[in-house]
Amino acid sequence: MSNAAVTPPPHIIARKRDGLTLADAEIEAFVRGATDGSWADYQLSAMLMAIYIRGLDPAETVALTRAMMHSGIVADLSAIPARKVDKHSTGGVGDKISLHLAPMIAACGVAVPMISGRGLGHTGGTLDKLEAIPGFRVGVSLAEYQALVARTGCALIGQTPELAPADKKLYSLRDVTATVACRPLICASIMSKKLAEGIDALVLDVKCGGGAFMKTEAEARELAGMMVSIGNAMGKPTRALLTRMDEPLGHAVGNAVEVAESIACLRGAGPADLMEVTLALGVEMLLLAGAARDEAEARARLAAVIADGSALERFRMIVTAQGGDARVVDAPGEVMRPARLLHEVRAAQAGYVQSVAALDVALAALHLGAGRTRAENPVDHAVGFTRLVKTGTRVAVGDVLAVIHANDEANAAQAEAMLQKAIVIGESSPERLALILGRL
């Protein structure tokens, strides 16, 4: 460690440039340089590119994750007696699962300390959805985060400055140096933040398909395997599900509209595909927490907290604790600011829906203002789509394929044209593809 402290950055960069394996101390020096500013941005960028090109072996990736995790404070939730289990998704379209799964798990007696991110590009962000609820605060201090978990059994917040600060710096550089799509860097970024939360175990939802960052099952499986190995190597039991993301989850895409759909899930009225993935992830969380003996018991517990209303009431408690307007639980369409325009997209031909391209739907929502292409861009929480049709649905001419929620007529017209291309209708009923592709 002492040698790495005085080792010049160019020497460490050159070693990775030449394909050599870095010692833990060298990786720690790199991360420390990102945290305290002792490495210049151009040196950090050069190192990121060297890693992108040469890669990191499993031991190096674990070392990078550990160093990033310890670049700030690791939250101490040991005073909370319940097991602490989080869930992380690699990002998809219509993926609002965290909003309703977290209170479901908390209602089962398992603490859920969940630090989430914002949407960027075509994927939606949990924080943006939560901020559609008037008053809901996602930016809290580390001390308040710990208090929220103790009081409500759950915290749904953004990353605090104290947790894994090296990741924020390195990610900002990866974004502008074409080094985002590097699996060791992706794994270290995700896992360092999650492991700094103070969790006991982690469940990963690794998505693949047209609406995911990982397009193929093989790519998703490799990424999932790396993250599971990191979590287990660092003493945190970790499991991953591979899930399909070729069409949006549920019938809603946007921010306020997805919050409303999550509330419907808590009332027992969630779309079948959305609940299938939700329950599969929930089962893994309860099993890792030791809150159920087997899958059947875990599913029964999840069904029970929806049926008796305790999951919905836990969501109300969380919203209240984080400053949100709890009336959203009973009247989401009134409490969250609605869009100015509602426009129905109708089928121009009869037949069966062959596919609903998740990426194209996401880009249409992005055009409305539901997402952002740059981190500093504002988000229009009111816009998006509801009543989005599902693959396999039989439609007649004039049937509604989706309802556009917009604040601008020109944007609504463009979004309709994009949706008409995204939704393919044919004569035959398509094969139903499995949503859960595997488990690691």
Q: How far apart are CA 55 and CA 181, in angstroms?
A: 11
Told to judge if 193 belongs to the known catalytic residues of this protein, a careful annotator would answer yes
Residues in a beta bridge with 310: none
**DSSP E strand boundaries for 90-175:** 112-116, 154-158
Decide: 90 and 206 in contact? Cβ < 8 Å: yes
| Most distant CA atoms of the chain, gap in Å | 73
- Dist. CA 310–CA 215, nearest whole Å: 37
pLDDT of residue 120: 62
Q: Which of 189, 192, 262, 355 is catalytic?
A: 189
Any residues with CB less than 8 A from the CB of 387 and at least 6 apart, and which? 251, 400, 402, 403
pTM of the prediction? Answer: 0.92
Q: Is 251 a catalytic residue?
A: no
What does residue 193 show for φ and ψ, rounded to 5 degrees? -70, -45
Domains and CATH numbers, the chain: 2-55 (1.20.970.10), 85-329 (3.40.1030.10), 339-426 (3.90.1170.30)
Q: At what angle do helices 256-266 and 310-321 cross, to 10 degrees?
A: 140
Task: State the Cα–Cα distance between residues 294 and 283, nearest whole angstrom.
Answer: 8
pLDDT in tens, the chain (440 residues): 444 447 899 999 999 999 999 999 999 999 999 999 999 999 999 999 999 999 999 999 999 999 999 999 999 999 999 999 999 999 899 999 999 999 999 999 999 999 888 766 666 689 999 999 999 999 999 999 999 999 999 999 988 888 899 998 998 899 889 998 899 999 999 999 999 999 999 999 999 999 998 899 999 999 999 999 999 999 999 999 999 999 999 999 999 999 999 999 999 999 999 999 999 999 999 999 999 999 999 999 999 999 999 999 999 999 999 999 999 999 999 999 999 999 999 999 999 999 999 999 999 999 999 987 676 778 999 999 999 999 999 999 999 999 999 999 999 999 999 999 999 999 999 999 999 999 99
Catalytic residue among 70, 118, 169, 174: 174
Residue 238 in tokens: 């970790």
| Count of other CB atoms within 10 angstroms of residue 25 | 17
In the set 95, 167, 246, 360, the catalytic residue is 167
Q: Are 58 and 188 in contact (CB under 8 A)?
A: no
> Does residue 429 carry a catalytic annotation?
no
d(CA 181, CA 175): 9
**Among this protein's residues, is 89 annotated catalytic?**
no
What does the pLDDT read at residue 377?
76
Q: Name the residue type at position 321.
A: A
Catalytic, out of 32, 129, 193, 236:
193
Q: Give the 3-state secondary structure of residue 316.
A: helix
Q: Does 41 qualify as catalytic in the annotation?
A: no
Predicted confidence at residue 119, as pLDDT, reads 67
Neighbours of 394 (CB within 10 A): 11
Residue 297 sits at the vertex; the CA angle it makes with 296 and 301, to the nearest 5 degrees, is: 120
Residue 88 token pair: 């992380």
Residue 323's contacts (CB-CB under 8 Å, 6 or more residues apart) are: 135, 136, 137
Which structure tokens are listed for 369? 């203002």
Catalytic residue among 32, 88, 251, 367: 88
Residue whose token pair is 């360092």: 192
DSSP-derived 3-state class of residue 368: helix
The per-residue pLDDT for 4 is 44
Query: What sign has the CA pseudo-torsion 370, 130, 344, 430?
Result: positive
Distance CA 102, CA 305 (A): 12
